[in-house]
Amino acid sequence: MEDAPQAVQKGFNWEYLGSLLINKDFWKATLTVIQLSTLTWLLALTFGFVLALMRQSKNFALQQSAATYIWFFRSLPLLVLLIFIYNLPQFWPASSVLLSSSFIAGLIALVLSESAYMAEIHRGALQAIPKGQTEAGKALGIPFLGIQKLIIIPQALRIALPPLANQYITIVKLTSLVSVISLTEILLVGQQLYTRNFLVMETLLAVAFYYILIVSVITYLLRKLENKLDVTQRNNDKEDDINLDHQALTQYSQISNERQGNFAIEMKAASKRYNDNTVFKDLNIAFKWSEVTTIIGPSGSGKTTLLRTINGLESLNTGIIRLEGTPFLYGLESQQKVDVADYNRRIVHIGMVFQNFNLIQHKTALENVMMAPLYHQLGTTEEIKIRSLAMLDKVGLLAHAHKYPHQLSGGQQQRVAIARALAMQPSIMLFDEPTSALDPELVNDVLMVIEELAKEGMTMIMVTHELSFAFKVSDRVIFMENGKVLHDGSPESFQNTTDPRLARFVQQNNI
């Protein structure tokens, strides 16, 4: 009773508030909150990403399992979950080894709950990444996990970081609920103090101070991380540390001359359809070594789909594709199935240049070119770097080796994409409308690179609307319409055609 007159005071006790700001119990509780919040955030961030990938999976069981988890734990109040997990040893005694610790019990409850929220943040970030980024990795022979590590996760993290940072702040504040299972965190320390001295306002202001301090420091650090990951704020103009003479560049820029089988690519009885829409049916086409083949035709004729089936970006329904004389891809309806390991090993023999470049946005031009050779261990790091610089020189972009895609024009990005494909030393190159996304003044630079490759004897299959160029560099031109090959011959053969549809196409396009 002697302390009662001191406890109930008139006015605000500033001296007492000041003493709370250096209170050891508060600072110890603050460290506990930081540890609990950080561990929860990191674990939930990782588990949430796995859940997001499961939601994106084509496997129905994985997809539904993740969806059910997210629905359940987003619906369940955290307070109920905390109390349930802390009291679980009453029903499952073996769990007492872990759950006897209120810190561990609180951590498990927070991770289970927050993973559901973070999964949706990650899912939104994954959906924001263009499909072409994944296709670029697949075309370079990088398997699923490698694509996630090298391409998807860095970009998804950058996109998701602002809402994830906000979630960290939410977790910091949610740790106050863990006081219900007797974890000595900031709010519990405050409650213990004001129940003894009744200085509620002073104590709660101290509690608020510690929470605001944690949130302010974490916000600052996460903002620094966000700025570091934002490639649009980078302006990397450093000089390369390897002196390359012309002889070294020439030596490393040679195209592959490996030839196996009578044909580079063979398509047998190949058919492709989407539901009831048949794109092409029963196609039989063989592509010779060192031959430049251009596939032309009106929009919707199946040209691009045909090209994408050659390297497996689109699956055939029926038929077979042989690469360098041996089976490479089978139709989905075939009794024989594609060997994924064999596919990833052999796809590197086929270089792919996309319509929209599909450069990896968080990597420089040089890093884009080096990425796949490093992954496949096609030499030492220094050898791969020299070869990659040589390929950039081959396409006229050695001076831009350390620039990011956002610092390059469309034409420059497409030439980097060509260098990236060539760095894998492919035997065959596929070009899918390589100039259609470019401004007219940028087209010629890309066409000159393709023409140079044709002169060097690279086996190429190209889809393009640049008909004058196609007829100039091609050894063979295939005309498609409605999924059918209407003409397959030399460029000169188009001038003497008796087919009225083909003659009209030639006339309309001034071929």
Note down pLDDT in tens along the chain; length 511 residues: 344 444 445 678 888 888 888 889 899 999 999 999 999 999 999 999 999 999 988 899 999 999 999 999 999 999 999 999 999 998 888 888 888 889 999 999 999 999 999 999 999 999 999 999 999 999 999 998 999 999 999 999 999 999 999 999 999 999 999 988 888 888 888 888 888 888 889 899 999 999 999 999 999 998 888 888 777 777 665 555 555 666 666 666 677 667 788 899 999 999 999 988 999 999 999 999 999 999 998 888 889 999 999 999 999 999 999 999 999 999 999 888 888 888 888 999 999 999 999 999 999 999 999 999 999 999 999 999 999 999 999 999 999 999 999 999 999 999 999 999 999 999 999 999 998 878 887 888 899 999 999 999 999 999 988 888 888 899 999 999 888 998 899 988 887 777 788 878 777 776 6
Q: Is residue 377 part of a domain?
A: yes
Q: Do 211 and 257 sit in the same domain of this protein?
A: no
Alpha helices in 273-322 (DSSP H): 303-310
CATH number, residue 318: 3.40.50.300
Same domain for 192 and 321:
no
Tell me the two tokens of residue 138.
């697949």
- 272, 305 contact by CB (below 8 A): yes
Statement to judge: residues 348 and 400 lie in one domain:
yes
Diameter of the chain measured on Cα atoms: 115
Together in a domain, 128 and 186? yes
Residue 208 lies in a domain: yes
CB atoms closer than 10 angstroms to residue 236? 13
Q: Are residues 152 and 252 in the same domain?
A: no
Could you tell me if 17 and 52 lie in one domain? yes
Task: Give Cα separations from 45 to 41, 49, 118, 127, 153 (angstroms).
Answer: 6, 6, 6, 17, 12
Token pair, residue 256, equals 């592959």
Q: Are residues 377 and 325 in the same domain?
A: yes
CATH number at residue 156: 1.10.3720.10
223 shares a domain with 262: no
> What is the Cα–Cα distance from 171 to 173, expressed in whole angstroms?
5
Helix (H) or strand (E) holding 156: helix 153-174
pTM given for the model: 0.83
Q: In this structure, are residues 305 and 278 in contact, taking their beta carbons and an 8 Å threshold?
A: no
State which residues form the domain around 495: 246-508
Task: Indicate if 166 and 252 belong to the same structural domain.
Answer: no
Instruction: Kindly state whether residue 134 falls inside one of the protein's structural domains.
Output: yes
Residues 304 and 409 in one domain: yes
Rounded Cα distance, 391 and 96, in Å? 61
- Cβ atoms of residues 260 and 324 within 8 Å: yes
